[in-house]
Homo-oligomer: A and B are copies of this chain.
Amino acid sequence: MITLTERQSLILKAIVRDYTEGGNPVGSKSLVQELPMKVSSATIRNEMARLEDLGLIVKTHLSSGRIPSIKGYRYYVDHILKPEKVDSKDLKVIQHSLGGEFHKIDEIVAQSADILSQLTSYTTFTLRPELKDSRLSGFRLVPLGNHQVMAILVTNNGDVENQTFTIPNDLTGDELEPVVRFIDDQLIGLPLQDVLAKLQHEIPFQLAHYLQDPDGFLDIFGSVLSKAASERFYVGGKLNMFNYTTKSDPKEMQSLYSLLDQTDNLASVIGSPGQHIQVRIGNEITNDLLKDYSLITATYDVDQHGQGIIALLGPTAMPYSRMIGLMGAFQRELARKLLDYYRYFDE
């Protein structure tokens, strides 16, 4: 366990700040000017040498200034940084952007990714509150004429998922009614996960009593169901990547971009953060493509409706203090907004 003297701590802090703001390695001479104590550059150099021995800062070459190492950022984040109180203007932006009317949870969550990316100029991810406890609360089949039927699935959280299908023969509402009744009787109230499980085994047999050819319907139902039960990350500010990437090789840019595009990868990258704000720096992220970036993740808690995730991807040299403050504020505001929203569906 590393312990730094007060002065070393101040120096590390200044190096992180300078490098984060200016982007250039920081030398002893420039440090001496802005540090509160009055010592010579030689003294600073001595201290820097010690910080380097500890592995907290590194040189880019033998005679360069220093930049923070991953370990240095880590120490900074864990021991030095104090979360900045969120800027009141930023808070207004958040509140205003979340203040509007929304028709779906997913709209709110998707919009959140956009707001956050706008405020940070980085790339952001959001995941809606987890669906583990989602239960099937309604199922409709609406005949639309012309060989089309729309299947609509509603959960106890008020989520609605729908899909339109083309069927060989037109059906009337009456013909569909037994199926809907079967679902109402047997499946309503069950967790989506359980329904999904049953779909493999019991349901096909049971449905055979109601329908001659249940396969088509099973496809439909399964398709809407898995849509409703799948977890999708929303990504905000994908383009912002261009601002903070260190890569100039288009090839690497492309693979990075694909990573963000295929939202199923994101789950493994982001993982399941704990309750408080987590910062992963450089190679602490379990994905080689991201080893030069930093990832800040946090959950937000919507009481009995479970927890969602917000995350932020940026350069390792980012203003952590401001970002953590911002994430904290967003966490709270989003949770509040969703609680409001869910209030409709609670008794």
Answer whether residue A31 sits at the interface, using C-beta atoms and an 8 A cutoff.
Answer: no
Q: A164-B103, A166-B103, A248-B248 are in contact. Are A146 and B254 (CB under 8 A)?
A: no
Task: Classify chain A: how many residues form its interface, as a range.
Answer: 35 or more
Answer whether residue A297 sits at the interface, using C-beta atoms and an 8 A cutoff.
Answer: no
> Once the chains are docked, how many angstroms separate the CA of A102 from the CA of B6?
67
Question: Which residues of A125-158 have CB atoms within 8 Å of chain B's CB atoms?
Answer: 137-138, 140, 142, 144-148, 150, 152, 154, 158
Query: Which residues of B sit under 8 angstroms from A251, Cβ to Cβ?
Result: 242
Answer whether residue A162 sits at the interface, using C-beta atoms and an 8 A cutoff.
Answer: yes
Answer whether residue A205 sits at the interface, using C-beta atoms and an 8 A cutoff.
Answer: no
Contact A243 B239 (CB under 8 A): no
CB distance from A178 to the nearest CB of B (A): 19
Contact flags (1/0) for A101-135 with B, using CB distance below 8 Å?
11110000000000000000000000000000000
CB distance from A152 to the nearest CB of B (A): 6
Contact B162 A154 (CB under 8 A): no
Q: Report the nearest B residue to A146, measured CB to CB.
A: B345
Contact B144 A152 (CB under 8 A): yes
Q: List 5 A-B contacts (CB under 8 A).
A: A103-B163, A138-B144, A144-B154, A239-B258, A242-B257
Partner pick for A160 among B103, B137, B138, B148, CB 8 A cutoff:
B148
Query: Which residues of B sit under 8 angstroms from A248, Cβ to Cβ?
Result: 248
Query: Which residues of B sit under 8 angstroms from A101, Cβ to Cβ?
Result: 166
> Once the chains are docked, how many angstroms separate the CA of A144 from the CA of B154?
7
Answer whether residue A218 sits at the interface, using C-beta atoms and an 8 A cutoff.
Answer: no
Query: Which residues of B sit under 8 angstroms from A138, Cβ to Cβ?
Result: 144-145
Partner pick for A344 among B146, B152, B242, CB 8 A cutoff:
B146
Partner pick for A154 among B104, B145, B163, CB 8 A cutoff:
B145
CB distance from A108 to the nearest CB of B (A): 12
Answer whether residue A323 sits at the interface, using C-beta atoms and an 8 A cutoff.
Answer: no
Contact A144 B160 (CB under 8 A): yes
> Once the chains are docked, how many angstroms separate the CA of A164 from the CA of B202?
31
Answer whether residue A32 sits at the interface, using C-beta atoms and an 8 A cutoff.
Answer: no
Contact flags (1/0) for A4-25 with B, using CB distance below 8 Å?
0000000000000000000000
Answer whether residue A165 sits at the interface, using C-beta atoms and an 8 A cutoff.
Answer: yes
Query: Which residues of B sit under 8 angstroms from A253, Cβ to Cβ?
Result: 242
From A145, A146, A166, A248, name the one whose CB has the most chain B CB atoms within 10 angstroms: A146
Answer whether residue A100 sits at the interface, using C-beta atoms and an 8 A cutoff.
Answer: no
Contact B245 A250 (CB under 8 A): yes
Q: Considering the complex of A and B, which 3 residue pairs feature the smallest CB-CB distances, nearest first?
A: A242-B250, A242-B254, A160-B164
Answer whether residue A261 sits at the interface, using C-beta atoms and an 8 A cutoff.
Answer: yes
Q: Report the nearest B residue to A156, measured CB to CB.
A: B146
Q: Report the nearest B residue to A250, measured CB to CB.
A: B242
